[in-house]
Structure 1
Amino acid sequence: MSESLTPPQDIAAEQSTLGSMLLSSEAMQDVVEIVTGPDFYRPAHETIFRTMLELQGRGEPVDVITVGASLVVSGEVDRVGGVQYLHEISQACPTPSVGSHYAQIVARHATRRRLAAAAHRIRDIAHQPGDEAELVELARKEVDGTSKATTTTVQSFGETIDVMLSQLDDEPDQVPTPWMAVNDIIGGLRPGGLYVVGARPAVGKSVIALQLAKALTAKGAVAFSSLEMSEADVQIRAVAADLRIDLARLMKRDLLASDWAAIRARRAAWQDVPLFIDDNSGVTLTDIKRFARSVNRRQPLAGLVVDYLQLMAQPAGDKRPRHEFVADMSRQLKILAMEMKIPVIALSQLNRGSTQRADNMPQISDLRESGRWSRTPTW
């Protein structure tokens, strides 16, 4: 786009929007749910809009006379074109009932201007030093920020209770785990939930994660970020768990004829499993988000598994203590679960705390590098 292009705007629509507000309090209520002050391209229009909101907030009438008087008091009347201009815009709107229509036009042009401004900032981001994945995430946030809705829909408990009650007859929107005792406690893996599986090293965390991932594949695709093992190692553990073959024999390739027969019988079923494995080590949270979104574009995502949390890389330049970084990663994973409406399963190592107790029973505080992040998970 040429730098000389005039920013997207519609002055006539702005005038009609403000004119409807001067003529009708009902129109004003409709308009303020669609636009905000910065949505107006002409600064004088933003000033008039702000003045009208101030009058409304004080419980005073909003019309040409009151707005003009308020602008005189604030010393801004000449800047907006004088009281005569207020008369002009009050006559610009054919009827107050169409004020919301013109407000929508104003809002659309404001979105386009924000998009153009974001493009300039993204151009600057492209020239910044740093990891490209982090820069892409910054650029994505710039674009996402251009389309934030100005309207906030509020509904009371009573207005929404029937929706919830009607859902009680439906199947719960959660995926059962393979273990009934766990389901009795948590009900299953729910969209938006962060579930942490903690254990000491070499006790089977990854196998548990694979079993949870397999359960989630019944609903859709699963993104499995393996920071500790290669994709082949993950697959071989999945095969051992599925066929109940001794993992050591699989690793040594010491297979019996019956093992091969079982593998051949299950091969076609495995090829249809929508489990996507990323075995890149040293990945950041940005990398994991990008991986999850890539899988979601390929096939609707049902869940994300991170194996394991403490191996996530801390971006260069991040000087926070490790426990603060890990705590923030858990919060970000919870946010990601809610944004994508999927369960996120994060594996975590335990420190030596449980081994120092008589019963060896682990506690939440035993999560390695936990700091205060143990408050974040759903379970």
Structure 2
Amino acid sequence: MTETPLVQAEQAVLGAVLLEPRQLGRLAGWLRPEHFYRPAHAALYAAMLDLRAEGHPATKAAPNVAVPLAWVNDTREKAGTHVRGLTAGYVHSLASTCPLPAHAPVYGRMVLEGAIHRSVAQHAIRLHQAARADATRGTRVAETLHHAQVLSDVLDDLGRRWGTERHGGQAGTPSAAPSTGQGSADERVLSEEESLLGTLATHPQQMREVVGWLRPEDFTDPGYAQIYRALGALHHRGEPIDQLTVLWECQRRGALADGTLDADRVRQVCGSAAGGSAGYFGEQILDASLLRTAAASARQIRDLADDASLAPGQLISQAAAALVPLDEARRRRSAADADPEPQEAATAKTGVPLASRAAAARARTSAHRNEAKVPPSTPSARSAPAPGAGRAR
């Protein structure tokens, strides 16, 4: 049976150390037993490191001195205490599989490269499984957040070990993932989305609780996302919020023309307030979005890890980029757990009270509408943009 290139690389690096124990000094600082795919190979390499640490004579021999048979036997005996079925014949055959002992660092790098792909794939699978499990349990995200952090830490460690700097790069943003839970979970999230929108339309003062961390992309229903976008625009401009103003804003944004929404649905959603806290509904929606994002990122990273043509540096960099959307969702969830920004803090950032900012926004909008009604009286008036027109748009 023909061995895979990875297994051949493991055999070659072990054979190189059996033939020239001093090669271990060129490997010990960065190649570890857990980087080997086969348990028997990992046990043999661990035994070699232990014998070197214990000061085995073979590891201190001069380059031209013949390697004692005790080196091979002691390695097999120590490794045999951790794995079964390790025969003397197999250990001796490893020496014949090594093309050139001096190339041990190159063979070791091949082993490490395989370990990097394997490790990234394993942690991506665990993240995906955690996201699915959390979604099934009802959008609890603790397990998913844990595995997301573990995967991020693994990429950092592998980047340092391989000698490449991890950076987010240009993220290949994961495509929108379908809900990772069952049908009942889908219905629950849709119900929470509708409850949030109805609450915000009826009690617009609660927009302050969610606008800083909840995004339209967090909604599963495209129509609900458009309504939330309209609510956010009205809140940002400080304009009144009710069924009619939301409907008008949806129309201005093309949501009625492209068929995403119709007027009856907008009115129905805006009048569907079931009571409760917008912050609570928003957190449930964000958690569901985070789980979908985690599942999509995990699938993308797993596909990258399965691509043997990617060099480790490329894999680490692209995997880090695939985590960018999830990292952003995690930051927003941390913001959701924090207290809403008090009015005094918002004033301190800009130097303008919230009420004054809202009044200014309304004034700009009114001025823009009045200007639109007055026809220009001179050619120069027609060619010059109205002051503040760009801001009003």
Fold match by TM threshold 0.5: no
Structure with the largest fraction of strand: 1
Structure with the largest fraction of helix: 2
Larger radius of gyration: 2
Q: Which TM-score band (shorter chain)?
A: 0.3 to 0.5
Q: TM-score, normalised by structure 2?
A: 0.38
| Larger relative contact order (Cα-Cα within 8 Å, sequence gap ≥ 6) | 2
Q: TM-score, normalised by structure 1?
A: 0.39
